[in-house]
Structure 1
Amino acid sequence: MNSCSGRRPRIMASSLSLSHDTISDILSRLPVKSLTRFKSVSKNWAHLTSVPAFISAHLRRSSPEPSLLIRRYNTQSGWGFGIGLITNPTQNYRSQLLDIPLLESLLRFPKIVGSVDGLVCLDVSPCYASDFVLWNPGTKQFKRLPFPLITSTRSNPIWLVFVGFGFDSFNNDYKLVRIVSFRGNDVSPFLRVEVYSWREGVWKEIVESFNLAVLCGGQDGVVVDGCLNWAAIGLQRSADRIVISFDMGTEVFKTIPLPPVTRYGNMKVMSYMGLLAVAVYPLVFAANTNNMNRFEFWVLSDCEDGMKHWTNVVVMENFSKSLVPMGTWRDRELVIKHMGDRDRENHPSLLLFDPVDDGTKRLPVDCVDFCLQGYSYVESLVSVNGRSKDGSGA
């Protein structure tokens, strides 16, 4: 009896054991919070969930269902700052306020530079975008990056700084790009550019090639098809608005002309369905009323002639107050801040607008009268520390 009873558990355990691939497949479907707990339970699972193949598989499963990362801030009162996460924005609305790393030691509330594959890049500097943190809210990892190479001096002070954060699929690297504009002796500014590599963990300066343009302030680089893009104004005859595009794989700049309508209002470069897009919206404090009630959304797409052309996808008119674009969620819905109507005492609201079916959903987000930034966010196990020499990425 004792002999038989001793064998049965071993036979059952053998018959119920799962293959390595099956276990990996099951674990890759779980949230980061659960996987983090499992690391302390099993050494085998801790190793499995740290290898690049598993991290990539988990990321692929997370990517189709991104959350909405919102940074809100009030520059006048100095209170009410926060970074919140909205899950299932179009279905079961749920939000949570995130704990920001190093917040108590910072001189100002951090600014979001970009959100890619679960990594959030924060600008924590008081000025000149000179101090950055890589942060994974899912794993709660964070890393303060080395200080940039390009600094301001008394003889050569910095005028403006533009930044962008994205993924370089060619080199399997996350890159932070910093464009520094100095005011020269003549009218035109001159620029210097440096790039931080997640893989290498260092900054390097590169030779830029677009001095005949001035980047527009207030907007960070937008990632589209492996390139970071900024709005700019050309310094040649027409001084038309253009897009400065930086290929993160080749680390080469190019300029992209914009449709003429961008001359007549505010403009925000965006990503839409994997394509470069631009929203044109009213100047809130414009002196004249021309074009005040018009919001346009243009997309740069391939046409039958084999060339890329701008197509007007959305035109909205006759609204009572300005629509201000914040970004895109799932690379499809536009996140728009509706300023409200003072005559009707309507408060500002945050909207999701789908250009495909013209569907609009109002998000019940508090304090929309504050300034806002909006980004798609997915949970991931991607490490803030870059790849180690063995390529583990853990």
Structure 2
Amino acid sequence: MSSSRAKIKKTQNTPRNCLLEAYLVDYDHQLNQSAALIGSNDDLLTEILLRLPAISILRFKSVSKHWRALLSHRQFTLRYDRVSICRGLYASFSHLYIPFDAENKSSPPLSKLDFYPDPNGIRIIQQCNGLLLCGSNVWIPRRGCRYYVFNPVTKQHVVLPMVRGGWKVRKHIRFIGLAYRQSDPVSYKVVCIFRPKRDGEVFYIQIYSSKTGEWKIANESFSTPHYRRFGEGVYWNGAILWPPSCLDPLYFDLNVEKFKKLPLPSASVASLEGLDLVDIPFYFGESRGHLHLVELAHPEKHFHLNVYEMLCDHSGWFLKYQVDLDELSITYPEMIISYAHPSFKQMKIISNQDLSSPKYYFYEVLDVVRGDKEEDTFMVVRIPSKIIRYNILDKSFKLILDIDFKFLGRIGYNGVHRYIETITSF
């Protein structure tokens, strides 16, 4: 505005120019008053700042002492983290970022994990409400892995102490997972499950608490006659759960530190009578406080999926969505392949039972993302060389990323993690 007034002064001082200059002065005055009003009203300022990306919040802390105090206050941090948006997926093995918004692609949030000078490099094990549980890339004899809790937005990290019991325990770790719930004060837990060979089928648990900074040995243990598969654990509603892989799956309730029986959807139980094992579901994960399990709706309908949601008390499942991917398969016929390509060995491939004309159907559900509104809920589906965003309710879909063939077989279910912005300090 000052440059505009300078130009007016250089011209003849006509009544019209005087009127325009007076208007600009008044406009500047009103603008300054509005800025002062917003800057002095913490409630109004908070509502505006809550809608900004995390990187802007961190930068705005340097505006003034008042802004720094406001943006660092735990009340603001809690509100921001509870409305924080999942902006995409990060494939840790290939360092590939998959943004959900194809029109507004952002740069990868993590170019590399170099927050700690680990000589063996660092990999992501799990994401939980914005925080990452990471571990050393290489398992070192006599020491095992070093583990970290890391916030990729603030770059803050904590190096976890070694689990108790020395090498005899560390070499038999079968699972380690993070449990973080936005709370005041900030606290998180890490659950470690191990099975020493000397005890055969018995599994034991240790729990690390950020409040104490130490591991403790839990009283709970359990045994199983078959090897129990621990995939990537999901923290939800005070418990760590795993994709069911047997007819008697369990979950670990952190509130009472005990294993409890995880129910299966009724359709799964009815179709698996007499079997000891079940297929790993197409997808098992949490979004906006909802736990989902995705399965094939019918063995002969290869593109029809059921999305189940678990009840809040862990007592059972209900059918939330029925998804029909037939139209997607018509648009992208590469989902139907005539033979199993060697690169697809580790992927979810469904084959028909007609041996005279065998066909294979390749696709993966990488994520189920709940929106602010039901109509905004979508799936992230991977097909050969492409990743698709599929709207569950209106059945619309769009390409969000083309991927090179070299990435096939490397962006698997266990290697994909959500990128959620959190400004939590711990």
TM-score by length of 2: 0.65
Q: Which residue of 2 aligns with 1:322?
A: 362
Give the residue type in structure 2 aligned to 1:308: G
Give the residue type in structure 2 aligned to 1:96: P
Structure whose CA Rg is larger: 2
Aligned to 1:216, what secondary structure does the other structure show?
Answer: coil
Q: Which residue of 2 aligns with 1:19?
A: 41
With over 3 angstroms needed to count, the CA separation of the structure-2 counterparts of 1:151 and 1:190, relative to structure 1, is farther
Q: Which residue of 2 aligns with 1:48?
A: 70
Give the residue type in structure 2 aligned to 1:38: F
Aligned to 1:231, what secondary structure does the other structure show?
Answer: coil
In 2, Cα distance between the equivalents of 1:228 and 1:104? Answer: 30
Q: Which residue of 2 aligns with 1:276?
A: 291
Please say if residues 168 and 249 of structure 1, whose CA atoms lie closer than 8 Å, have aligned partners that are also in contact.
no
- Aligned-residue sequence identity (percent) comes to 21
In 2, Cα distance between the equivalents of 1:167 and 1:251? Answer: 15
Please say if residues 292 and 368 of structure 2, whose CA atoms lie closer than 8 Å, have aligned partners that are also in contact.
no
Q: Which residue of 1 aligns with 2:410?
A: 371
In 1, Cα distance between the equivalents of 2:325 and 2:61? Answer: 51
The structure, 1 or 2, with the larger RCO (C-alpha pairs under 8 Å, 6+ apart) is: 1
| 1:39 has 2:27 as partner | no
Give the residue type in structure 1 aligned to 2:401: P
In 1, Cα distance between the equivalents of 2:46 and 2:161? Answer: 35
Please say if residues 113 and 123 of structure 1, whose CA atoms lie closer than 8 Å, have aligned partners that are also in contact.
no
Alpha-carbon deviations, 1:4-28, whole Å to 9, x = none?
A: xxxxx9xx88994513434444433
Give the residue type in structure 1 aligned to 2:180: F
| 1:134 has 2:149 as partner | yes
Deviation at 1:110, TM superposition (A): 0.4
Q: How does 1:260-339 map to 2 (within 5 A)?
A: 260=269, 261=271, 263=277, 265-267=279-281, 268-271=283-286, 274-280=289-295, 293=302, 296-301=305-310, 308-309=316-317, 311=319, 313-314=322-323, 319-320=335-336, 321-330=361-370, 332-338=377-383
Deviation at 1:328, TM superposition (A): 3.0
With over 3 angstroms needed to count, the CA separation of the structure-2 counterparts of 1:91 and 1:374, relative to structure 1, is farther
| Structure with the larger helix share | 2
Give the residue type in structure 2 aligned to 1:333: F
Q: How does 1:203-242 map to 2 (within 5 A)?
A: 203-212=215-224, 214-217=227-230, 219-231=231-243, 233=245, 240-242=246-248
Please say if residues 167 and 226 of structure 1, whose CA atoms lie closer than 8 Å, have aligned partners that are also in contact.
no
Alpha-carbon deviations, 1:269-299, whole Å to 9, x = none?
A: 3236644333347xxxxxxxx8794664441
With over 3 angstroms needed to count, the CA separation of the structure-2 counterparts of 1:42 and 1:273, relative to structure 1, is closer
Q: Which residue of 2 aligns with 1:69?
A: 89
Please say if residues 292 and 322 of structure 1, whose CA atoms lie closer than 8 Å, have aligned partners that are also in contact.
no
Q: Which deviates further from its counterpart, 45-54 or 354-363?
A: 354-363
| Structure with the larger strand share | 1
Alpha-carbon deviations, 1:192-243, whole Å to 9, x = none?
A: 21222234433222122432374314x211123332211355xxxxxx4343
Q: Which runs of 5+ in 1 are unaligned?
A: 1-8, 74-80, 234-239, 282-289, 341-347, 387-394
With over 3 angstroms needed to count, the CA separation of the structure-2 counterparts of 1:301 and 1:14, relative to structure 1, is closer
In 2, Cα distance between the equivalents of 1:96 and 1:170? Answer: 28
- The alignment covers a number of residue pairs equal to 335
With over 3 angstroms needed to count, the CA separation of the structure-2 counterparts of 1:90 and 1:249, relative to structure 1, is farther
Q: Which runs of 5+ in 2 are unaligned?
A: 1-28, 330-334, 337-360, 372-376
RMSD of aligned Cα (Å) = 3.9
